[in-house]
Amino acid sequence: MFNWCIIGTGKIAKKVAKQIVMNEGHQIVSVYNRTKEKAEKFAKKYNSTVYESALDAINDPRVNGVYIATTNETHFSYCKLCLENHKPVLCEKPITGNAKELKELIRISEENNTFLREAMWTWFNPVANKVKQWIKEERIGKIKSVDCIFNMPIFGYNKSKGRYISPAKYGGALLDLGVYSVRYVYELFGKPNAIESRGKLYNGIDLYNVSKFKYDGFEARVSSQINKLVGEHCIIIGEKGKIKVPFFHMTSKAVLKTKDGKEVFRDKKKKFATEFRVVAEYIKGEKPDELVSLQSSLDVVEIMDEIRKQIGVIFPSD
């Protein structure tokens, strides 16, 4: 049996909750949301207890792990609360708004010997890790170029309100969508030797950003955008072939093409369900192998800090 506490009951929490309970022995026992009425509506579906405060919710003695699904600017404070109370925590991406915040959480996690991870579902699942394996095995030979983009017109229906256009809420394309693009390229090739970035700002946040990640022998174009529908893909070109991953952040398919033919890897299992099953195994000490490390999350936040610095996006916590 593994019992979850959920902090925040918005759109992503609703999607995730449906899949959490698909895992045998997983249940949601504790819920907190700033608007109690929303928490009660959410909790009713899962026979969960609603609490008046986040502290009370995470300290429910039945809770084995906490999932944080609140807006970006609150991630640090809720994670800190969990870690200080020795409750294992999985936090939605981006885990924090900057590296300074994440370093503090890592310090507390280590001091209290308490589990902390970012809910980067892409890398808890088989498709992304198969792509990493293909790269490691040099199936397409020496890398020549990489194009990793994630664009969705969120801005079009959130011009007047919402976290997407608020610096105080860590809004903008980079932290909401670009974190996936940056993470994908990082997981395959590590930290770049140099970064060159540009972007378009609105209300102090980025509607659009594009970066060149410079590696030995090749460059990766990494971009995200919330004001136009351009698409989502990761295309990796090598001397011997190419790898294409459509809708890379959530995909069930990756395609490898070489002179020897075409290979398609598919995994149609529920992505959130897999993520939460794996995390529970980590917390219980049943899974020693690391798929998503805190160091990788820190490296990615540091990369995003540099991109924001270059394009001029500043958050209050900076």
pLDDT of the residue at 235: 98
Which amino acid appears at position 10 of this protein?
A: G
Identify the pLDDT of residue 161: 56
Q: Which residues of the chain, if any, have pLDDT below 50?
A: none
3-state secondary structure string, the chain? CEEEEEECCCHHHHHHHHHHCCCCCEEEEEEECCCHHHHHHHHHHHCCEECCCHHHHHCCCCCCEEEECCCHHHHHHHHHHHHHCCCCEEEECCCCCCHHHHHHHHHHHHHCCCCEEEECHHHHCHHHHHHHHHHHCCCCCCEEEEEEEEECCHHHHCCCCCHHHCHHHCCCHHHHHHHHHHHHHHHHHCCCCEEEEEEEEECCEEEEEEEEEEECCEEEEEEEECCCCCEEEEEEEECCEEEEEECCCCCCEEEEEECCEEEEEECCCCHHHHHHHHHHHHHCCCCCCCCCCHHHHHHHHHHHHHHHHHHCCCCCCC
> What is the pLDDT, as a whole number, of residue 288?
67
Output the CA angle 273-14-31, nearest 5 degrees.
95
Give residue 159's pLDDT.
54
Q: Write out pLDDT tens, residues 177-229.
A: 999 999 999 999 999 999 999 999 999 999 999 999 999 999 999 999 998 88
How much is the pLDDT for 44? 97
Q: Given this model, what pLDDT does residue 156 score?
A: 60
Q: What pLDDT score does 163 carry? A: 78
Give the angle subtended at the CA of 220 by the CAs of 217 and 221, to the nearest 5°. 145
CATH 3.40.50.720 domain residues, the chain: 2-120
- The dotted CATH code for 123-267+290-311 is 3.30.360.10
The superfamily in CATH containing domain 2-120 is: NAD(P)-binding Rossmann-like Domain (3.40.50.720)
Round to whole Å and give the CA distance between 260 and 266: 19
